[in-house]
Amino acid sequence: MRKSRFTESQIVSILKEDDGGIPVKDVTRNHGISVPAYYTWKSRYGGMDVAELPCARAGDGDR
């Protein structure tokens, strides 16, 4: 699997920008990601907070 340019905590922070009222198109343009990638991240990390990330990774095992 290809390594992401963004850490999980960075992804959650990027997703929070949309909650602040910034349009998705502007968020994706500012960070150099595609709109489909943004929505993939949102489906995976949508309701998470940065503090919840280690708990989410605990069940993944070694990939």
pLDDT tens string 13-34: 899 888 878 899 999 999 999 9
pTM, two decimals, is 0.70
pLDDT for 48 equals 75
* Contact criterion met (CB below 8 Å) for 30 and 24: no
Does residue 60 have a pLDDT over 60?
no
Q: Which residue has the higher pLDDT, 52 or 40?
A: 40
Count CB neighbours of 44 within 10 A: 12
Residue 42: name the closest of 58, 54, 27 by CA. 27
For residue 3, the tally of other CB atoms under 10 A from its CB is 4
- Helix (H/G/I), strand (E/B), else coil: 6: coil
pLDDT at 54: 62
| Residue 38 clears pLDDT 90, i.e. is over it | yes
